[in-house]
Amino acid sequence: MVEYCKGIVEKNDILTIGESPLAIMQNRYISPQNLDYSFFSKALCYFFHPTSSLATACGMQLLINRIGVTRITFALIVGFLFKLVGIKGMFYRLTGSESSLIDDISGTVTPYDKSIVMGPLNADLFCKEVSNYLNIDVAVVDVNDLGGVKVLASSNKKVNKILKRNLISNPAGNGDEKTPIVLIREKK
């Protein structure tokens, strides 16, 4: 990333990279053919919205492999009960960040769109190292075309509001126009 950006960044820029491209750089992806699907992965995936990466047996199996079927089943039951009283997102709170960072097939960039991508490791350390080298703020983000912006890590927490405001339109794209890196620069 430093190699691609060192000649174009300026003071006060904010450099972002998507969580999936960073995870791919860390070799955190797997082909669905390399997973052994359990009865549970095929059954539990039906409890998720069709656009969720956990709505496929492969995404669910990867999560089962990471945190176990007992924890997932418990989180589903508790999440359902909380949803009945109007509290959403309890499943993801109980299963941890790993569950919300899985991108299943077609959820990422070619040629990895045939793979399941896990969340990146050590995103905070990555941001600090790149920030120190380039002397600008750096962040790892998860942005979608539905208006969702999550800042997973940043070298300077003070820029998180700026990131959310500037990335809500998803300038990196979610179709074939995807780009892993977005540079935010103040207009002069």
In the DSSP assignment, the letter for residue 103 is B
DSSP letters spanning 111-137:
TGGGSEEPPPS-HHHHHHHHHHHHTSE
pLDDT band at 25 (very low <50, low <70, confident <90, very high): very high
Average the pLDDT over each of 98-102, 116-120, 175-179 and give the range with the smallest value: 175-179
> What pLDDT does residue 103 have?
85
Q: Break the chain into its structural domains and give their ranges.
A: 2-27+120-184, 29-117
Residues facing 90 on adjacent strands: none
Mean pLDDT of 35-54: 92
> What pLDDT does residue 79 have?
96
Q: Does the structural domain 2-27+120-184 have CATH classification 1.10.10.10?
A: no
> 73-78: which pairs have CB atoms within 8 A and are 24 or more residues apart?
73/40, 73/44, 76/44, 76/47
pTM of the model: 0.85
> What pLDDT does residue 105 have?
74
Question: Minimal CA–CA distance to 96: which of 119, 117, 115?
Answer: 119
What's the order of all strands across the beta sheet hosting 14-18?
149-154, 137-143, 14-18, 181-184
> What pLDDT does residue 170 have?
77
> What pLDDT does residue 36 have?
93
Residue 18's CB is within 10 A of a number of other CB atoms, namely 23
Q: Which residues contact 92 (CB under 8 A, 6 or more apart)?
A: 99, 100
DSSP letters spanning 133-155:
HHTSEEEEEEE-TTS-EEEEEES
> What pLDDT does residue 178 have?
64
The pLDDT tens digits for 71-113 are 999 999 999 999 999 999 999 999 998 898 898 876 566 777 7
* Average pLDDT of the residues of the chain: 89
> What pLDDT does residue 113 have?
78
